[in-house]
Structure formats: structure tokens, C-alpha cells
Structure 1
Amino acid sequence: MINRVEKLSLLSEMIAFAQTNENIKSIEYRFLFGVAKQLDISKEDFNYLIEHPITYVNLKSHSERIVQFHRLVLLMNLDIEVSPKELVKLHNFGLRMGLSHDSINRVLDLMESFPNKIVPPDFLIDIFKVQYN
């Protein structure tokens, strides 16, 4: 299980990802707040993170990093149109988390084939398992 600092770091990272254009869209805010609730982060702490990001803490657990990458994929795909800049940003976030370059590319390439570009969690896990073994 991840600790509070790691949870705040994950959320801060997601907020930074959503703030590509300086503003967080309403749909992104709702999604991020939903993640905050799942992580047992209060609305006050969540809103504080929007204005005051914290330093990124790399997760020790490979499975937690995969879950976080999946959250970022879902967040990115809230927009109808995903820009090449957003894809590069997501790819770089994945690399910074220590995920496999090949697995990240495979997820990004295959997400187009899923409805609403939503990669099912079990499919995503299988992609990373292949590279992890």
C-alpha cells in the first residue's frame, strides 16, 4: 500500500499533466477529484495541490506505477483530440516512472483500437507483464 506522501505525489503529477494549457477542464477536475477520493485525499488537500504542486516521489511498486500510468492514459483521453505533445508528455511520464519504453509505446499504439481509447486494465497489465518478465 502506498503512503500519504506517495498519494499526494501521484495526484500532484496528474494535476500537472492536466495543466497542459494552464487550466484544468471541468471534466478533468471531476476525474482528478474522483481519483483523490479513491486515494483518501480531502477536497481541501486536492485543491491545495492544484496551486502548490509537490515534488514527485517515484513509486517502489511496479504494479502501482502501472496503475498510475493507466490513470494518466484515462486522464489524457478525456479530451476528444489528443495532441502529439500530450502523447510525448505521457510517454515521458511513463519513462520517469521507470516503465518499459516498449510497453509504453505498445499501449499508446494500441489505445486507438479501443472504444473511446480506453485501454482495459487487464490488457494494459498484460502488456507490462510481458516486458517485466
Structure 2
Amino acid sequence: MTNRVEKLSLLSEMIAFAQTEDSVNSIEYNFLYSIAKQLDITKEDFQYLFKHPVTYLHLKSHSERIVQFHRLVLLMNLDHKVAPKQLVKIHNFGLRMGLSHDSINRVLDLMESFPNKMVPPDFLIDIFKVQYN
């Protein structure tokens, strides 16, 4: 992914996912900021996104959508408390990204079996490969 607008859109989407009652806890903030740094987004631009979200852009690459979904799963599980509302929200984000309904459900069902509910990237990719083929 080389497009700056796509990077800002991804980050904005993650911020929107993390914001509950207009706040993001420090663990989530630090995780989001580490993603921003990986995407070469400045701290000023990162902070700007909290008040001025960027319009969602649909990622063309299936693999980029899987990576983004994985980031959202990791973000959701940072505080080890997953509310039913968050499951619905992440499911809807996955569908909006064009990911398979069955794959999303499989990931969300199986994450309970992993330590700290952190689905390993290889496992997640295998789930989506099955549905993509």
C-alpha cells in the first residue's frame, strides 16, 4: 500500500472502531500510534484523525483487507474485554471490507481458543484462503 489517503483511511477506521463513548484508552492509543508509525503517519496527522476522520476507502487488495481485519481483531482484544457490541461492530467492518461472512465468523469464534484471544496471523490467513479459493 503506497497511497497516503488509503493509509489515513485505514487508521481513521481503526480509531473509529476503538472509540467508545468518544474516548480511547491508553493501551489502544499506543497500539494505534504504533500502527500510524508503521504507516509513516506523523503524530500530528494521527491526532488530527481523532477529531476529523477520513472517509473510508475500500482496499483493492484482498490481502490488505485481511491485514486490516487482523489489526482490528488485535485492537478489539487489547483490554481482554470483548463486548457483544464490539463483535457486531467488527463483523460489520469485515463485511464492509468485502470479506467473507463465514471467514469473519470463523475468526471471531476461534479467537476464544487462543491465548489472550490473539489470533496468529498465519491462522487468520489460512481461514480467509479457504473462503477465497
Q: Same fold (TM over 0.5)?
A: yes
The residue number in structure 1 matching 2:57 is 57
Work out the CA distance in 2 between the residues paired with 1:4 and 1:126. 29
The equivalent of 2:84 in structure 1 is 84
Q: Describe how 1:23-38 pairs up with structure 2 within 5 A.
A: 23-38=23-38
Alignment match, 1:67: 67
Supply the RMSD in Å over aligned alpha carbons. Answer: 0.6
Q: Once the 2 structures are TM-superposed, how far is the Cα of residue 21 of structure 1 from its aligned partner? A: 2.2
Task: Give how far 1:81 is off.
Answer: 1.4
**Which residue of the partner structure matches residue 103 of structure 1?**
103
Tell me, in whole angstroms, the C-alpha distance in 1 between the residues paired with 2:48 and 2:127.
35
Aligned length: 133
Task: Note the alpha carbon deviations across 1:3-28, whole angstroms, 9 max, x for none.
Answer: 10000000000000000221010000
For residues 116 and 2 of structure 1, the distance between their equivalents in structure 2, rounded to whole angstroms, comes to 32
Specify the alignment match of 1:122 in structure 2. 122
Where 2:20 maps in the other structure, the secondary structure is helix
Task: Give TM-score scaled by structure 1 length.
Answer: 0.98
CA distance in 2, matches of 1:4, 1:23: 25
Once residues 36 and 131 of structure 2 are traced to their aligned partners in structure 1, the CA distance between those partners, rounded to angstroms, is 29
Alpha-carbon distance, 1:78 to partner: 0.8
Q: Secondary structure of the equivalent of 2:23?
A: coil
Which 10-residue stretch deviates more, 110-119 or 79-88?
A: 79-88
Alignment gaps of 5+ in structure 1:
none
Equivalent position of 2:40 in the other structure = 40
> Structure 2 length as normaliser, TM-score?
0.98
Distance 1:117 1:11 in 2: 22
For residues 92 and 79 of structure 2, the distance between their equivalents in structure 1, rounded to whole angstroms, comes to 19
Could you tell me which runs of 5 or more consecutive residues in structure 2 were left unpaired when the two chains were aligned: none
Q: CA deviation at 1:37?
A: 0.3
* Equivalent position amino acid for 1:30 in 2: N
SS for the counterpart of 1:78 is: coil
Cα separation, 2, equivalents of 1:96 and 1:45 = 25
C-alpha displacement of 1:106: 0.1
Q: CA deviation at 1:118?
A: 0.3
